[in-house]
C-alpha cells in the first residue's frame, strides 16, 4: 500500500493561506486545494519528484505530475500571464522528468513585481487522483519557510474512495419511455425547454428527448432548441431514475398542452396607454420634445484577452465567472418571484438554463483547449450558438439571440475590462431595451435628441440622469421597437408618445414647438441667477440634484442656489471595488469648488433594494426594499461609512458642506451617526463639524418629524421613496409607475405633517422628482417647503414658474383637495387652478 508523500516549498518565502490570495480563482479553491508563498528568492523549484506535463507559453506556470498521479500547479505571481514571459526564464520543458528541488524557472523579482498584480505564488493540487490533503506541515500563515521544507502532506486513496473520482450519489434505477405530440403553438422554445430541464432536476432523473435519429439530453437548452421542433412534431421521451414515470407525466403535460400565454403575442403587446395610429406609448421619465432619426443601441462587449493562460487556469476562471453570474441571476430570480413578476421570473429561469447548459460549457472548454482565454472562449461558444439559432428560421428561437447576447456580455464582463461606448449619431432618438447609469452617461456625452426604453421606471437611476441632462426619455414602452434604423421620428416626452415616420407637416410643427421652447428656456436662463420669489413674497431656494463634480459645474451655470442632493452612490457604482478616501474627497471637493461657497448637501452612500454593488453583496431577503439599505447598512459596513466620512471631513470649506443621511426611520439612527462623526472629527483634528440632516423617505420619519427636527440641522423629503412606501408600490415596477403619484392625498398629508413638525426647529426641503414637476412643486411650496432641489436643466424653468405662483392663495385650496380620492384627482384640480385666468 502506498504511503503518504510530502510536497515541499518550491522556494524560500512567507507562507500565505490560499483563501487569502487576492485572486478568486485561487482563493475560492476552484483550481484545487493548496498553499501560497510570498517569494523571498528568484527561483522556483520542483516540490516533488515527477514529470513536467505542461509549461505555460508565457513561462509563468508549470504543472508537474507525481508518480502517484497527483498533478501540482506552480503559478508564479498573479496576472503574470500579461507579462508574456518578460522577466521570466523557463528552465524545463514538457515531458521532462525532475527530482524534488530541481529548478523549474527563474525570474527577475523587481521586474515582475512592478508589472504584475502580485508576486504571491500559489502551489495547487490541480488533480488529486484520489489522494487527500491531510496537513499543511508544521508552519502557519505568516511563517517564513525555506525551499524544501514540507508545506503539504497527502494520504493515498483508500478502498472507500470511488474509482476515477466517482460520484457518491446512489445509482438511480428504473427507465420509462413515452411518445408525445407537441401541442405548443410556437414549438419548443426557450421557456418550455428550460422547464423540461427543471423537471429532470426536480425529479432527479436523466431525461432524454429523441426526434428522428437525434438524441438530446434535456440538460442542454441549446441542443433542445436546435432540434427546431414545431407544433405537431412527434418526439420520444426517455427518463431514467426512481421517479421516471412521474417525470414523464410532467414532461408530457408540458409539451402536449397549449401554453397559458402565447409568447408570440406577448412579444408584440403594446403598453396600456393612449396611443394613436402609428404611435407607441410609454411613461415619461424625463420631459421634453425631440425630432430625429431612430438609432437602435447595441451595447458593446467587454474587452477580453484573445490568448489564454494554461487551460486549467482558464477553465477555472470561466467557472468562477459562471458561478458569479449564476448567483446574480438567482438573486434576481428570487426577487422577481417574491414580487409576483412572473414573466420576468420565466426569462431569468431561461437565462439560468442557458448558463448551466453543458453543451455551451463543452464548446467553451474546446476553445480554451485550443488556446483561447476564458472570456474569448465564452464569446466564441455563444457566437456559434447564436448563429445556429438564427439559422433555424424560427422567429421565436431567433428572438432568443438577445438572451444569449445578454449572458455573453455578463460573463465576459467578469473576465475582462469595460467595453468601449458604441457611437451614436448626433441628434438621434436612441432605442434600447434598458440602459445602465454608466451607459446613459456615456450616451449623453454624444448629444442624442432623446431616449426610448422598452423597460425601466420613471424613478430609476437612468431616469434621474436623463432629467439631470434635460434629455427627453420614455420608459416602460413594453415592446421591442422594430422601426428601421435611421427612420425619422417624433418623441413627445410630455404626452408619452413616440411617432415613427410622421407626416412632413407634423415634423415641421414639432420642430417649431422645440424652437419656441428653446427661446423660452433662453429667456428663463437669463434670470436664473436671480432669487426665486413667489408672487406673494416667499423666496424659495432652488438647488440641484447631481451625481458629482461635473454636474455641479453645470448646475452653477444654470443658476443653482446650491446643491440640494449629491448622490454619492454614483461614485460607488459600476466598479469592482469601493473608491478610496482620496477618490471620494476629490469628487466631493470638485462639487464644493463648483458652487463657490454655496451650500452642498452630500447624501451618504445609499445602497440596497434597487441599488446594488457587485463588491458588496447583500443578503437575499424576501423584500429588499424593506431590508438593509441606506443608513441601516452602516451597522455591518462600518469601515465603508468611516472612509466616506473621513473624505467628507477633509473638504474645504467645511462650512459649505451639509451631510445628509438616507432612509432614517427614527431619531436614534441620527444620534448614532452624529456620535460617529464627532469621533472621527476628533481623530482627524477637525474642530468645526458640517451640518447634519436626514432624508424623510419613510412614513415613520414623516410622522416623527418634530423629534428629528429637534436634533437635525435640516430635513429633506425624498418624494420618490416616500411615495412608494406610503402607497406600497414598487417604484421600479413599470406596471405600477402610472399610479405612483406624489400628489396622492396620503403622500401630501405626510409632507404636510413633516413641515408642521419641523416648524421653528429646522428648514425643510424636497429633493425628489416631484420638486421639478410643474404641478407638484406648486403644491409643495404651498405646503410650506422652503427649498426645491431639481435636475440642473430644470432650474431656470422652476425659478420662472415660482415667480408666477401665489403660494398663499393655493394653500387655501389644499385642505379640500387632501380629501380627494387619489393623485389623479388632485393633479386635475391643481392643473385647473394654475391654468385659470387671473381675475382682477
Active-site residue list = 461, 767
How far is CA 739 from each of CA 130, 299, 643, 768, rounded to the nearest angstrom?
Answer: 62, 31, 39, 17
How far is CA 279 from each of CA 471, 504, 658, rounded to the nearest angstrom?
Answer: 20, 15, 46
Q: Are 822 and 766 in contact (CB under 8 A)?
A: no
CA 396 to CA 399: how far, in whole Å?
5
CB-side neighbour CA atoms (13 Å) of 42: 11
Give the torsion sign (CA, 641, 646, 652, 654): positive
CA 802 to CA 398: how far, in whole Å?
53
Give the torsion sign (CA, 437, 443, 445, 450): negative
How far is CA 81 from each of CA 109, 303, 307, rounded to the nearest angstrom?
Answer: 15, 16, 10
Largest CA distance in the chain: 109
**Rounded to 5 degrees, what are φ and ψ at 126?**
-75, -35
Torsion of CA 422, 424, 430, 431, to 10 degrees: -40
CA 483 to CA 489: how far, in whole Å?
10
Return the bridge partners of 124, or none.
34, 73
CA 117 to CA 661: how far, in whole Å?
37
Q: SS3 sequence, 487-551? A: CEEEEECCCCEEEECCCHHHHHHHHHHHHHHHHHHHHHHHCCCCCEECCCCCEEEEEEEECCHHH
Closest by CA position to 97, among listed 170, 48, 150 = 48
Check residue 126 and report its DSSP letter.
E
CA 475 to CA 440: how far, in whole Å?
13
Give the torsion sign (CA, 93, 94, 99, 103): positive
Closest by CA position to 224, among listed 194, 184, 179 = 194
3-state SS class at 160: coil
Q: Distance of alpha carbon 715 from its chain centroid, rounded?
A: 30
Return the bridge partners of 766, or none.
717, 788
Instruction: For strands 121-127 and 34-39, give the pairing.
Output: antiparallel
**Rounded to 5 degrees, what are φ and ψ at 579?**
-65, 150
Element (H, E) at 98: strand 97-98
Closest by CA position to 87, among listed 74, 76, 101, 98 = 76
Work out the angle at residue 753's Cα, subtended by the Cα atoms of residues 748 and 756, and round it to the nearest 5 degrees: 125
CA 181 to CA 247: how far, in whole Å?
16
Estimate the crossing angle of helix 311-338 against helix 342-355, to 10 degrees: 170
Residues 6+ positions from 409 with CB-CB distance below 8 Å: 299, 301, 302
Check residue 211 and report its DSSP letter.
E
Task: Give CB contacts under 8 A, 24+ apart, made by 825-829.
Answer: 826/741, 826/743, 826/744, 826/745, 826/748, 826/779, 827/741, 827/743, 827/775
Amino acid at each position: 500500500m502506498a504511503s503518504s508523500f510530502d510536497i515541499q516549498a518550491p522556494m524560500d518565502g512567507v507562507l500565505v493561506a490560499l483563501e487569502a490570495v487576492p485572486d478568486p480563482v485561487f482563493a475560492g479553491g476552484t483550481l484545487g486545494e493548496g498553499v501560497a508563498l510570498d517569494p523571498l528568492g528568484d527561483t522556483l523549484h520542483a516540490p516533488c519528484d515527477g514529470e513536467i506535463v505542461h509549461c505555460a507559453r508565457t513561462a509563468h506556470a508549470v504543472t508537474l505530475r507525481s508518480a502517484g498521479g497527483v498533478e501540482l500547479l506552480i503559478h508564479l505571481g498573479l496576472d503574470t500571464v500579461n507579462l508574456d514571459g518578460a522577466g521570466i526564464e523557463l528552465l524545463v520543458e514538457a515531458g521532462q522528468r525532475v527530482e524534488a528541488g530541481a529548478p523549474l524557472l527563474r525570474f527577475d523579482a523587481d521586474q515582475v513585481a512592478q508589472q504584475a498584480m502580485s508576486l504571491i505564488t500559489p502551489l495547487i493540487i490541480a488533480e488529486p487522483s484520489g489522494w487527500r490533503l491531510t496537513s499543511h506541515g508544521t508552519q502557519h500563515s505568516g511563517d517564513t519557510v525555506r525551499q524544501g521544507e514540507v508545506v503539504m502532506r497527502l494520504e493515498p486513496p483508500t478502498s472507500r474512495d470511488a474509482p476515477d473520482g466517482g460520484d457518491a450519489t446512489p445509482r438511480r434505477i428504473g427507465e420509462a419511455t413515452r411518445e408525445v405530440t407537441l401541442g405548443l403553438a410556437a414549438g419548443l422554445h426557450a421557456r418550455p425547454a428550460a422547464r423540461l430541464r427543471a423537471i429532470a432536476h426536480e425529479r432527479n432523473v436523466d431525461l432524454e428527448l429523441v426526434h428522428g435519429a437525434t438524441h438530446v439530453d434535456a440538460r442542454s437548452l441549446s441542443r433542445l432548441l436546435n432540434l427546431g421542433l414545431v407544433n405537431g412534431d412527434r418526439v420520444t421521451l426517455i427518463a431514467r431514475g426512481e421517479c421516471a414515470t412521474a417525470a414523464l407525466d410532467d414532461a408530457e403535460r408540458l409539451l402536449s398542452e397549449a401554453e397559458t400565454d402565447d409568447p408570440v403575442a406577448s412579444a408584440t403587446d403594446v403598453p396600456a396607454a393612449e396611443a394613436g395610429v402609428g404611435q407607441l406609448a410609454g411613461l415619461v421619465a424625463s420631459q421634453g420634445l425631440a425630432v430625429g432619426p431612430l438609432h437602435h443601441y447595441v451595447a458593446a462587449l467587454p474587452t477580453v484577452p484573445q490568448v489564454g493562460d494554461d487551460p486549467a487556469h482558464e477553465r477555472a476562471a470561466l467557472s468562477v465567472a459562471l458561478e458569479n453570474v449564476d448567483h446574480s441571476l438567482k438573486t434576481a430570480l428570487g426577487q422577481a418571484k417574491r414580487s409576483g413578476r412572473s414573466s420576468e421570473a420565466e426569462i431569468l429561469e431561461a437565462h439560468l438554463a442557458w448558463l448551466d447548459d453543458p453543451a455551451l460549457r463543452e464548446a467553451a472548454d474546446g476553445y480554451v483547449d485550443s488556446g483561447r482565454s476564458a472570456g474569448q472562449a465564452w464569446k466564441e461558444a455563444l457566437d456559434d450558438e447564436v448563429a445556429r439559432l438564427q439559422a433555424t428560421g424560427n422567429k421565436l428561437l431567433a428572438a432568443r439571440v438577445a438572451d444569449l447576447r445578454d449572458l455573453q456580455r455578463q460573463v465576459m464582463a467578469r473576465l475582462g475590462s469595460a467595453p468601449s461606448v458604441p457611437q451614436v449619431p448626433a441628434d438621434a432618438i436612441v432605442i434600447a431595451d434598458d440602459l445602465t447609469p454608466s451607459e446613459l452617461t456615456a450616451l449623453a456625452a454624444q448629444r442624442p435628441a432623446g431616449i426610448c426604453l422598452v423597460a425601466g421606471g420613471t424613478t430609476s437611476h437612468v431616469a434621474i440622469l436623463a432629467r439631470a441632462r434635460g434629455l427627453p426619455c420614455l420608459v416602460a414602452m413594453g415592446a421591442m421597437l422594430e422601426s428601421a434604423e435611421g427612420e425619422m421620428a417624433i418623441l413627445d416626452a410630455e404626452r408619452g408618445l413616440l411617432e415613427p415616420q410622421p407626416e412632413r407637416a407634423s415634423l415641421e410643427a414639432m420642430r417649431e414647438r422645440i424652437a419656441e421652447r428653446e427661446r423660452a428656456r433662453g429667456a428663463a436662463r437669463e434670470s436664473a441667477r436671480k432669487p426665486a420669489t413667489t408672487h406673494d413674497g416667499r423666496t424659495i431656494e432652488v438647488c440641484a440634484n447631481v451625481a458629482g463634480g461635473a454636474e455641479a459645474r453645470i448646475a452653477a451655470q444654470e443658476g443653482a442656489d446650491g446643491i440640494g442632493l449629491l448622490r454619492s452612490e454614483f461614485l460607488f457604482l459600476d466598479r469592482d471595488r469601493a473608491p478610496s478616501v482620496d477618490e471620494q474627497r476629490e469628487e466631493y471637493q470638485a462639487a464644493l469648488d463648483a458652487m463657490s461657497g454655496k451650500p452642498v448637501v452630500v447624501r451618504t452612500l445609499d445602497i440596497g433594494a434597487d441599488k446594488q454593488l457587485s463588491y458588496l453583496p447583500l443578503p437575499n431577503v424576501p423584500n429588499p426594499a424593506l431590508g438593509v439599505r441606506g443608513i441601516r447598512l452602516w451597522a455591518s459596513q462600518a469601515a465603508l461609512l468611516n472612509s466616506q466620512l473621513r473624505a467628507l471631513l477633509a473638504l474645504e470649506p467645511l462650512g459649505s458642506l451639509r451631510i445628509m443621511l438616507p432612509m432614517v426611520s427614527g431619531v436614534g439612527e441620527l444620534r448614532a451617526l452624529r456620535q460617529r462623526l464627532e469621533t472621527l472629527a476628533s481623530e482627524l483634528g477637525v474642530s468645526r463639524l458640517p451640518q447634519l440632516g436626514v432624508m424623510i423617505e419613510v412614513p415613520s420619519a414623516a410622522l416623527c418629524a418634530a423629534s428629528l427636527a429637534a436634533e437635525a440641522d435640516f430635513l429633506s423629503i425624498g418624494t420618490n421613496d416616500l411615495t412608494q412606501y406610503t402607497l406600497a408600490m414598487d417604484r421600479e415596477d413599470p406596471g405600477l409607475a402610472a399610479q405612483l403619484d406624489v400628489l396622492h392625498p396620503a403622500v401630501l398629508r405626510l409632507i404636510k405633517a413633516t413641515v408642521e413638525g419641523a416648524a421653528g426647529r429646522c428648514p425643510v426641503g424636497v429633493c425628489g422628482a416631484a420638486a421639478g414637476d410643474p404641478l407638484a412643486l406648486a403644491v409643495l411650496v404651498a405646503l410650506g417647503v422652503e427649498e426645491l432641489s431639481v435636475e440642473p436643466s430644470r432650474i431656470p424653468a422652476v425659478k420662472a414658474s415660482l415667480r408666477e405662483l401665489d403660494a398663499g392663495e393655493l394653500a387655501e385650496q389644499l385642505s379640500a383637495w387632501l380629501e380627494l380620492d387619489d393623485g389623479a384627482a388632485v393633479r386635475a384640480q391643481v392643473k385647473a387652478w394654475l391654468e385659470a385666468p387671473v381675475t382682477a
